[in-house]
Structure 1
Amino acid sequence: MMCNDARLLLHAYLDDELDAAQSVAVTRHMHGCPACAASYADYARLHKALAQPALYRRAPDALRARWTAPGSPAAGNARTRRRWPGLAMAAGFIGALLLTAPAWFYLWQQHGIGANPLAGEVVSSHVRSLQQQHLMDVVSTDQHTVKPWFEGKLDFSPRVKDLAGVGFPLAGGRLDALDGHSVAALVYKRRLHVINLYQWPSTVTTSAAVVTQWHGYTVIRWIAGNMNYVAVSDVNETDLRQFVLAFQDDAATPPMR
């Protein structure tokens, strides 16, 4: 994890809003990065200071009565004055967050919608990977270079294929985390687009591929040979299906549905 990625997640880490894999990644990063650890310590002190009961004051009873009296113009005006600044501040905060941290947008949507948590997590990981210096740990178009790089870093051997002949050249790979698991992420290209292919062991032998659309991204998940596979990209669905079929072509896998 890079410092820029960790700093985006420090506030959520402090509030215990990250999933297990992200929490572990941030913790490990701070163990080796004094700057991020110091930033986290500052946030923690500020969080504790703002939570002190002594900072809160109860409004006088006379003032509360004026605000809450039925039919009181003052009450209506006060509610209106309180509501609009609050809405404006919330809208401004969300707008700034979306502009400065695109990965946060998908993390927020993932928790807010919940229709397919894994798809949301996959898209979040894909978006984060596109940030500078986060896409690949090993850069190579040679499958015989990429595959050995994972040895000793994972407790399984990922399947790596060279698909340049069908228009999906291998670009490299990296370590990542999904669904609470350490995973191998292979990076392929389709013209100017990036395709992330995640792999990790499964207790299930095989399953049909399932296609999910998630906020402009296509996610295809299947299981083959006791391995989970998830492909994600912003290429059109036809191209991503073609990629998956090319990757599957020498394995006994059920058809997509």
Structure 2
Amino acid sequence: MMDHEQASALLPGYLDGELSLSESLALDQHMAQCDACRLELARQRAASAQLRQADLRVAAPAELVKRITAALPGRKPLWRRLLGAGSAAGSSGQTSARAPLGLALASLAALAVSLGLFLRLPSDEQRLAQELVNNNIRSLQVDHLFDVASTDQHTVKPWFGGKLDFAPPVVDLAAQGYPLKGGRVDYLAGQRVAVLVYRDKLHPISLFVWPGAGEPAAPRFEERLGYHIAHWRAAGMNYWAITDAGASDLSGFVSEMQKTGN
């Protein structure tokens, strides 16, 4: 069993989707019983989201900009310095010009690499998608698709009472070809969420549901590690569905869910 110190050290990697499957599973098990780690993960996730907000930038007062600019030593733009280095090569020889030109090009290359690495950082949505896939794989590996097994929505919906601080909508889609099989409580995006498990022929479809602020959002689809994923927002809830069925099968399920208003 992972101890608190080990769990705390792994939280940043968990947030960025950098942990192995076994590490994520061990950390999930620890957080299921550790309020402190769950709160710390939520705090780190909130801080990460705030740092991505553009309104954190504050414009410097015009007078301050003027004073700083005046205090800086005169310096030509980079392109003029590069041209100047090239001209110097004609008068003092190519060898002496190669050093400043090479340093400038090396600096530009380093800047390009750094910018590329920054742009490749996973977004909050990408990290959430990877966390969703990891949770789904774990549930299949340990044969833990649901805590309550029932095809009756009137059995599954009350089961969540007292286990969550919200009431997830439980819809019966058996007539549409997606019978309900059960549900469970899982941990995603730093909070407890409801998971409703449906069946499409031989393929399970896990629907993760939790409250979400903001306007309704149309479904977005992607494929990750062989799983098809869809997510959308409706009626004050976030919906993330994942399955190993085909893309068209998932699209049909999402369409039927939306017809119910969810």
Q: TM-score, normalised by structure 2?
A: 0.57
Residue 209 to residue 28, structure 1, CA distance change in 2 (3 Å) = closer
Quick one: percent identity of the two aligned structures? 41
Shift of residue 25, structure 1, vs aligned partner? 3.9
Mapped contact 2:28–2:187 kept (Cα < 8 A) = no
Deviation string 1:8-58 (CA, Å, 9 cap, x unpaired) is: x99973752434997464144589xxxxxxxxxxxxxxxxxxxxxxxxxxx
Matching of residues 83-162 of structure 1 within 5 Å: 114=122, 116-162=126-172
1:35-74 → structure 2 map (5 Å cutoff): none
Q: Name which of 10, 13, 29 aligns with 2:7.
A: 13
Aligned length: 166
Alpha-carbon separation, structure 1, partners of 2:260 and 2:202: 27
**Offset, 1:191:** 1.5
Matched, 1:26 2:30: yes
- Contact preservation (8 Å) 1:183, 1:198: yes
For 2:6 and 2:224, the matched residues in 1 are separated by 23
Kept after mapping to 2: 8 A contact 1:218/1:240: yes
One-letter code of the match for 1:189? Answer: R
Report how far residue 113 of structure 1 moved.
7.8
Partner secondary structure for residue 193 of structure 2: strand
1:203-226 C-alpha deviation (Å, 9 max, x unpaired):
113111111111211110000011
Contact 1:12 1:18 (C-alpha < 8 Å) held by counterparts: no
Aligned mates of 2:212, 2:259 — CA distance in 1:
20
Query: In structure 1, which of residues 222, 225, 243 is the aligned counterpart of residue 235 of structure 2?
Result: 225
Opposite residue 205 of structure 1, the aligned amino acid is E
Query: How far does residue 247 in structure 1 lie from its aligned partner after superposition?
Result: 1.1
Q: Which runs of 5+ in 1 are unaligned?
A: 1-5, 32-111
In structure 1, what residue type is equivalent to 2:173? L
Distance 1:166 1:24 in 2: 34
Larger radius of gyration: 2
1:113–1:165 CA distance, 2 compared to 1 (3 A): farther
Query: Once the 2 structures are TM-superposed, how far is the Cα of residue 130 of structure 1 from its aligned partner?
Result: 0.8
How far did 1:250 drift?
A: 2.6
Give the aligned residue type for 2:145: L
Q: 1:191 and 2:201 equivalent?
A: yes
Partner of 1:170: 180
Q: 1:247 aligns with which of 247, 253, 257?
A: 257
Residue 55 (structure 2) aligns with:
none
C-alpha change, 1:13 and 1:208, in structure 2 (3 Å) is same
